[in-house]
A and B are shown apart, each in its own frame.
Chain A
Amino acid sequence: MLEWITTIDLATLGVTLLRAFIIVTVGFLGSRAASGLVYRLLSRDGRMERATLARRIVSTGVLILAGLTAMSELGFDLSILLGAAGVVSVAIGFASQTSASNIISGLFLIAERPFSVGDIIEINGQAGVVLEVDLLSIKLRTFDNRFVRIPNETVMKTQVINLTRFPIRRIDLNMTVPHTIDMPRVRAVLFEVAAATTLVLDEPRPEVMIGGFSANGTDLLLVAWVDRTNFIAVKNDLILQIHKRLGEEKIDLSPRQKTILTQV
């Protein structure tokens, strides 16, 4: 090491440093250009998570290559570095098992594609829009505008519900009607409201299912299909229209009074 230092002179050192600087600069610019090109090529089919990952790999790879080349230019013996890196990597490997697991899970997620950037998913009770699918984690924006980071390992181990995978969704409206109610009339009202709602799909046809008898009455389930982009608006509209029609028909769904007798 000392022999190395004593054999150089300032002029040579200056030229060497300049060359190293140029290599690093070219490497930096090259990494930006290469990663940008890779991103543009891979994002054409809309698979943004794959394009983002590839951009980062290319960028990091080119920068590492440029860095190693610059270090080689400066006279560092890379074999020593690689040897040290081997030892360090073993130590890091033990310490970063979770990160490695997240990276591998991330690769599986990108290959399997249970969801994409822009989809709305529900995971562990959190629902939100997928912002990014990275090597280590996915990022969501919740509907109340919170940022949620979920490690990929968690995503792989947990049930994920993709609310926007298919073009249509079913609205389920549960209600319990008193036993004494005129059931055919209630069903007729529900069918009429569904039929009158333009955004409710004609097919699959709306249905009114009778769930069974409970202590409070008879359980009904109105199911109606909609374009998934109209899900919330139509669900709200159906509830309002049903409420209005039941009022017009003077159908009272409030639970009947119960008399409880106790003996002292």
Chain B
Amino acid sequence: MTSRHIYNGLLLLTRRLPVCFSFIVLLAAVPRADAGFIGAYSFDNFNLFNTNANGFASLNLDGSLAITGGNDGSGIPGMTDFSLIAPTSGIVSFNYAYASLDFPGYDFAGYFADNFTFLANSDGGSGSATFLATVGQQFSFRVSTLDNTGEPGVLTISNFNGPSATGGDVPEPSTMLSLALGLAVLAARRRRADRR
């Protein structure tokens, strides 16, 4: 289905239905996402796994998630995973920032879904990422260290969005505003078309 088809469909819908009813229908039709570490994606639903490491995870005051890698002094490689079983299928998106005081190349961070995707190493870095999660699939945020010394790296995840696990979830206000604006544009075009 092309975007043109979607547009024509919405245009037809706005011709046949009152705008306000259209708005409600569209709300029901738009796929919902859980924003932040809430609901099915709450901090407590994640599990911490340390493999030859002593990393940990914490929730910052701004709602972002911080995963700190291992620094147990063992001199051997290790990794810290903060994992969740995907409650439903859909797009997972987030912003990330990585910082480390260690020398370059001695720790790095990424996420693991079907396989590991590198995000940043101890030089630091930030950005955004998305991946498609399948219901029942385990995905994790990971910080790895080559030798558990030299101070750990910290991966901070913010602006997290995951597919909603239930229908009752309410989209975030920014999403609603976008929908409203889109509908208003469609309604205005409909009126012009009717006048012609």
**A, B co-complexed:** no
